[in-house]
Amino acid sequence: MNPQQRAEQLFSEKFHRTFDLRVYAPGRVNIIGEHTDYNDGFVMPCAINYGTAVCGAKRDDSLFRVYAADLDEFDEFDLAKPIEPNPTHKWTGYVRGVVKFIQAQCPDFKQGADLVISGNVPLSAGLSSSASLEVAVGKFCQQLAQLPLSDTQLALIGQQAENKFVGANCGNMDQLISALGQKDHLLMIDCRSLETQPTPVPNDVAVMIVNSHVKHDLVAGEYNTRRAQCEQAAEFFGVNALRDVSVEQFEKMEEKLTALDPIVAKRARHVVSENARVLAAVEALKQGDLTKLGQLMAQSHDSMRDDFEITVPQIDYLVELAQLAVGNTGGARMTGGGFGGCIVVVAPLDKVDAVRNIIAENYEKQTGLKEDFYVCTASQGVAVC
């Protein structure tokens, strides 16, 4: 049963009435461009065929009654009163935060509702289950009260909720791709201007995701530390964000920054070089050059491992196995915020079994963890369904 069907079924069970609105927002996988979004840089994700459904109906008061199907938990809050965090359940922050920041833009929004949330994005895997939830809830509210908010605005409200209500200082990529994803396309996003450039996924190419089952929790601090280090580097270069530093400029000042703070220099080197890799990856895909894309993905992974220091041994091993299987016909790298989660592999369809088999034969034996393997399709962004 997909999340839409499950949400619909549970709505009648939990609230004993019929729903009048259902929306769905996808998770995402990032092909290249990691930790560049909050540096105003470039990213190239795609929305995937896993996501979050919200099914609900209006109430005749200002109460929001929310049932999270995957956790079997309820939350209730009043839109006519100041919205505060619920300290006992972390997931409620993503819902309450979105509603709070929608009210900041649309102060008259006090329309209550009963709703059920159901998703199938693997949690704590770096595939943006939280952004998918935020964008779905935002779209539900927008449709519920016919609010004058675009999908881009809903994405930025989701980011605000995560930054200021939940406390994870993420960039805007995850919410933007969940809101704006295009079927059968990767989307290069300029995280400063919010301009997007769709790049078709060639017909005979598979996007594979392998979940390491090393769980991560970005609110735990490492993510916010990396962000602060990037801000220090931008200050050193006298720019608003590392987006404004070219590879040549970085190399010219690298020695001086390294003498001042070697860790900050490494963080900056990753972001500056990663921005250049995203732009090169767009060109490689336009040419259908999977060998070049694979080289860029390998460089990206090495940079995340050595300069940004966000990979873990299990993830490095998965990438090594996948690269062995695809050779020079594609690429593999860690995807997501880091410290666990997933790798992404882009390769011809006829390599899927080779990648699946080499990982199945070696990963658990080496690490004691059993991977999950998904073959994804590039999907449409948030929609009423």
- The tens digit of pLDDT for each residue in 68-114 reads 999 999 999 999 999 999 999 999 999 999 999 999 999 999 999 99
Check the annotation: does 37 bind a ligand. Answer: yes
Average the pLDDT over 321-332 and give the result.
Answer: 98
Q: Which residues are catalytic?
A: 174
pLDDT at 125 over 80: no
Q: What pLDDT band is residue 219 in, cutting at 50, 70 and 90?
A: very low
Question: Could you report the per-residue pLDDT of 25-81, keeping only the tens digit for each?
Answer: 999 999 999 999 999 999 999 999 999 999 999 999 999 999 999 999 999 999 999
Q: What pLDDT band is residue 218 in, cutting at 50, 70 and 90?
A: low
Check the annotation: does 162 bind a ligand. Answer: yes
Selected residue with higher pLDDT from 223 and 191: 191
Which fold, 205-376? Alpha-Beta Plaits (3.30.70)
Report the CATH number of the 3-201 domain: 3.30.230.10
Check the annotation: does 35 bind a ligand. Answer: yes
- For residue 220, what pLDDT is reported? 59
Q: Please list the residue range(s) of the chain that carry CATH number 3.30.230.10.
A: 3-201
Query: In whole angstroms, what is the distance from residue 347 CA to residue 353 CA?
Result: 11
Question: Could you report the per-residue pLDDT of 268-287, keeping only the tens digit for each?
Answer: 999 999 999 999 999 999 99
pLDDT at 362 over 80: yes
Taking every pair of Cα atoms in the chain, the longest distance, rounded to a whole number of angstroms, is 67
Residue indicated by tokens 């090594």: 320
The mean predicted confidence, pLDDT, of the chain is 95
**Which H or E run contains 43?**
strand 42-58
- For residue 171, what pLDDT is reported? 87
CB 127 within 8 A of CB 209: yes
DSSP string, 128-171: -HHHHHHHHHHHHHHHHTT-S--HHHHHHHHHHIIIIII-----
Check the annotation: does 126 bind a ligand. Answer: yes
Query: In whole angstroms, what is the distance from residue 331 CA to residue 322 CA?
Result: 8
Q: What pLDDT band is residue 224 in, cutting at 50, 70 and 90?
A: confident
Q: Please list the residue range(s) of the chain that carry CATH number 3.30.70.890.
A: 205-376
Question: Could you report the per-residue pLDDT of 296-320, keeping only the tens digit for each?
Answer: 999 999 999 999 999 999 999 999 9
- For residue 92, what pLDDT is reported? 97
